[in-house]
Amino acid sequence: MIVFKYAFWIFYRIWFYILVIIPIIILLPILLVSISKDEWYPLFFKLARIWSKFILIGMGFNWKIEQEQIPEVDKSYMFIANHTSMIDIMLMLVSVKNPFVFVGKKELARIPLFGFFYKKTCILVDRSSAKSRKAVFLRAQRKLQSGLSICIFPEGLVPEEHIVLDEFKDGAFRLAINHQIPIVPLIFMDNKKRFSYTFFSGGPGSMRVKIHEFIQTEGLTINDTRELNNSSRKIIFNQLESKH
């Protein structure tokens, strides 16, 4: 029986990357057009949402989104969530309709084909480089000034399997304060069980998402960054702890 389980997990992981690539190949011409001008990014974002739904359905996932507050159209936000694996990207895209730009690790740019569009549309960060982190901050500011939102997984990296929620980096909260935009905490309650970075694990099933009431930053200053960080993390941590 255990042999069949391991065989399933190997196939399941390979199948995921096949699903990632197939819609990119099918939509390639229009994807290339959509990234050719900055003002066409909303079109790319819509295609990315279709791509995400294709992958989640193909993996046997069904998602349920609970919203305590709904983001307004044409308003910028800072979206944050707990991080478990690459599947978080797809679930974030189906959960949020407001066009946003990911701030993500540069390693994902190495994935064939996907990496090309990832590099072109996301803000990549090398967390070991102070220069890279500063460049990310400036690029994110430009995106916010153009009316887009930003999505950051504030843990920085995927924590080890036994860690419910790692400590948060300050970048997302500094940006939110600087631009006086609301922080929108999302809690992905089942992603670690469904598809984590532990290779021999996961499987089809339900993926619950909770979009928490927004955290306002109006009137806050950079001195409030740590308190805002801690209160945001506490919201997500408490929800993960009580998810059952």
Q: Give the separation between CA 121 and CA 41, rounded to whole angstroms.
A: 8
What is the maximum alpha-carbon separation in the chain? 59
Three-state secondary structure call for residue 17: helix
Domains, the chain, with CATH or none:
2-241 (3.40.1130)
Strand 205-211 to 183-188 pairing = antiparallel
Listed in sequence order, the residues at least 6 apart from 138 whose beta carbon sits closer than 8 Å to its beta carbon are none
Enumerate residues 6+ apart whose C-beta is below 8 A from 143: 101, 123, 150
pLDDT of residue 81: 97
- Mean pLDDT across the chain: 92
* pTM of the predicted protein model: 0.93
Answer whether 189's CB lies under 8 Å from 243's CB: yes
Task: Tell me: pLDDT of 238 over 80.
Answer: yes
pLDDT band at 222 (very low <50, low <70, confident <90, very high): very high
Give the model's pLDDT for residue 237.
Answer: 96
Return d(Cα 148, Cα 144) in angstroms, integer. 5
Q: What's the pLDDT at 199?
A: 86
Q: Which residue type occupies 61? A: F
Secondary structure letter of residue 202 according to DSSP: -
pLDDT digits (tens, 9 = 90+) for 159-214: 888 899 999 999 999 999 999 999 999 999 999 999 998 888 999 999 999 999 99
pLDDT higher than 80, residue 244: no
CB atoms within 10 A of CB 134: 10
- pLDDT for position 95: 97
The amino acid that residue 192 corresponds to is K
Assess contact for 153 and 80: CB atoms under 8 A: yes
Stretch 94-104: mean pLDDT: 94
